[in-house]
Every structure is written in C-alpha cells, then in structure tokens.
C-alpha cells in the first residue's frame, strides 16, 4: 500500500507550489517513492475526521499503514530516514543535514511567515504599513547570514539533502516579495533546487490538481 498524503482540493496559490504538500511530494520524488494524494476542501480540513489526523485542521498529513504523521518537517524527516537519498550516511554529516532541516523551519521560515501574516491576515490593520519594513528587515538579516554561509557552494553542506529541500521550499515563499533577488547566491540556490527533476515532477503534480479543479469549476 502506498503512503497517502493530503493536499488542498483547490490551492489558494493557484498551483505555484507554495502549499506545504509540495515539500512532501518533492521528498517522495527525490527518493523514488510513489504516493497517493487525498484532496480535501477547506471545510473537510476542519471536520473531526481530518482533525484526528491533523489536530490543527491543516494539510498535509501522511498515512502509511497504522502510522499517521503531521508537520512537514516530521514527514520529510520520516521519508529521509526510510529511504536513501536525502540524508548522508556518515553520522556527523547526517546530524548536520538534520540541523539544516530545523534551521529552515525554525530560524529562516519564522520571519518569512511573519511577512505572510502581515501581508494577508493583517493587511487591513492600520499599523501594518508601518510594520512591514521591520518585518522585511528581519528577513534580510536572516537572508544575509544564510547567504554568507552558503557563499558559492552548491548546497548547504556537501551534497543535496533534506536540509536543502526544506530550505529551498522555505525561501520560495519569498518569490513574490522580490527579497530573494537582493541575494544572488540564494536566488541561484533556489533555482538549482527548482531545476532538479524531482522538484519538477512534484511541482507538475500539484499544478495538475489545480488545473483539473479549475477545469471542473
Ligand atoms: N507546521 C505545519 C506543517 O509544516 O505541516 C503547517 C501546515 C500549514 O500551514 N498548512 C496550511 C494549511 O493547511 C497549508 S500550507 N492552512 C489552512 C489552515 O490553517 O486553515 C501553507 C500555505 C497555504 C497557502 C499558500 N498560498 O496560497 O500561497 C502558501 C502556504
């Protein structure tokens, strides 16, 4: 039986690969593990059946036999642990790659999420306009530090790892902000991630869902 993940029936990003099922799809594609997808509507996500899988009523979830997981970091880590290709074998290199996974989700994604909240959830607050420069500068701090560490390396620590996979998906959230263009080595790093055949397959699969939903509208 194939692992099953959940994804938006109709993603608000219109298939741009910003929803977090993209991370899980990409991980599956990198390791060559086929998977099934169960599409859920916003309404279904808030029902008890989905909350039993994901207490916060969100996507994605992961089901494999009796195992149910939520949180993309945990899901990608699980896939990387079970299959070769996303974590190095050498123990210290493996520990560092796992460190980069946490870094992507805790250190880099946190200020980026603040920007999304400011731009969408708090767009109409009277203080949002004044706050945006601070939020953007906090992101620039992180990007500057990450850019300095990456330098002209291809990936964060040796070969491509689950740390890069999560970091690239986190940085992609800045696509429409233009902030990434201020750091050419990070923009090139994201482009390298997006050029991987596994990324393309995952991207095309999530885009096909949106295209089919739009055609059936
Ligand atoms: N920490 C959890 C994880 O990593 O798994 C967070 C999961 C999460 O935020 N899921 C979002 C969700 O279900 C979808 S991915 N939201 C619905 C809700 O909370 O009610 C976040 C997302 C959504 C939409 C866009 N977009 O349109 O660009 C981008 C990212």
- Whether residue 143 is predicted with pLDDT greater than 70 in this model: the reply is yes
Name which of 99, 71, 69 is nearest 3 in CA terms: 69
- Give burial (CB, 10 Å; 0-12/13-18/19+) of 50: buried
Q: How far is the CA of 199 from the centre of ligand 1 (A)?
A: 19
Ligand 1 midpoint to CA 20 (Å):
6
**What is the model's pLDDT at position 207?**
98
Q: How far, in Å, is the centroid of ligand 1 from the Cα of 106?
A: 15
Question: Distance from the CA of 12 to the center of ligand 1, in angstroms?
Answer: 10
Question: Above 80 in pLDDT, residue 217?
Answer: no
Number of domains, the chain: 2
Mutate to test the pocket of ligand 1, among 6, 15, 18, 19 (most ligand atoms within 8 A of CB): 19
**Could you tell me the CATH number of the domain that includes residue 10?**
3.40.30.10
For 98-142, what is each residue's pLDDT tens digit?
999 999 999 999 999 999 999 989 989 999 999 999 999 999 999
Q: Whose CA is nearest to atom 18 of ligand 1?
A: 58
Per-residue pLDDT band for 216 (boundaries 50, 70, 90) equals confident
CATH number at residue 165: 1.20.1050.10
Which of 26, 18, 10 minimizes the C-alpha distance to 205? 26
The pLDDT tens digits for 29-49 are 999 999 999 999 999 999 999
Do 63 and 95 lie in one domain? The reply is: no
Q: What is the pLDDT of residues 55-88, one digit of tens each?
A: 999 999 999 999 999 999 999 999 999 999 999 9
Entry field: residues in the chain: 217
Q: Does residue 147 register a pLDDT over 90? A: yes
- Residue 50: which domain range? 4-85+198-215
Asked if 107 and 55 sit in the same domain, the reply is no
182 and 131 assigned to the same domain: yes
- Dist. CA 74 → ligand 1 center (Å): 15
Nearest atom, ligand 1, residue 11 CA: 27
Q: Which atom of ligand 1 is nearest to the CA of 70?
A: 5
CA-nearest of 48, 50, 49 to 7 is: 50
Residue 192 has pLDDT above 70, yes or no: yes
Cβ within 8 Å of residue 178, ≥6 positions away:
none
Q: What is the reported pTM?
A: 0.97
Apex 200 CA angle, 198 and 206, nearest 5: 105
Taking CA atoms only, the protein residue closest to ligand 1 atom 30 is 19
Q: Check whether residue 155 and residue 203 sit in a common domain.
A: no
CB within 6 Å of ligand 1 — which residues? 12-13, 18-20, 57-59, 71-72
CA-only gyration radius of the chain, Å? 18
């Amino acid at each position: 039986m194939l692992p099953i993940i959940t994804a938006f029936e109709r993603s608000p990003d219109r298939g741009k690969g910003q929803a977090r099922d993209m991370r899980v799809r990409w991980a599956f594609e990198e390791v060559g593990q086929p998977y099934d997808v169960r599409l859920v509507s916003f309404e279904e996500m808030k029902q008890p059946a989905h909350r039993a899988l994901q207490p916060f009523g969100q996507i994605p979830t992961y089901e494999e036999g009796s195992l149910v997981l939520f949180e993309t970091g945990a899901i990608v880590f699980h896939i990387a642990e079970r299959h070769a290709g996303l974590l190095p074998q050498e123990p210290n290199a493996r520990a560092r790659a796992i460190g980069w996974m946490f870094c992507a989700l805790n250190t880099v994604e946190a200020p980026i999420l603040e920007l999304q909240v400011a731009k969408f959830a708090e767009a109409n607050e009277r203080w949002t306009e004044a706050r945006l420069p601070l939020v953007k500068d906090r992101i620039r701090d992180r990007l500057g530090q990450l850019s300095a560490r990456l330098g002209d390396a291809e990936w964060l620590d040796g070969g491509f790892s689950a740390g890069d996979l999560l970091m690239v998906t986190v940085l992609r959230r800045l696509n429409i902000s233009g902030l990434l263009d201020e750091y050419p080595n990070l923009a090139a790093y994201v482009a390298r991630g997006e050029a991987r055949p596994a990324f393309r397959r995952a991207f095309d699969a999530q885009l096909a869902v949106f295209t089919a939903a739009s055609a059936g509208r």
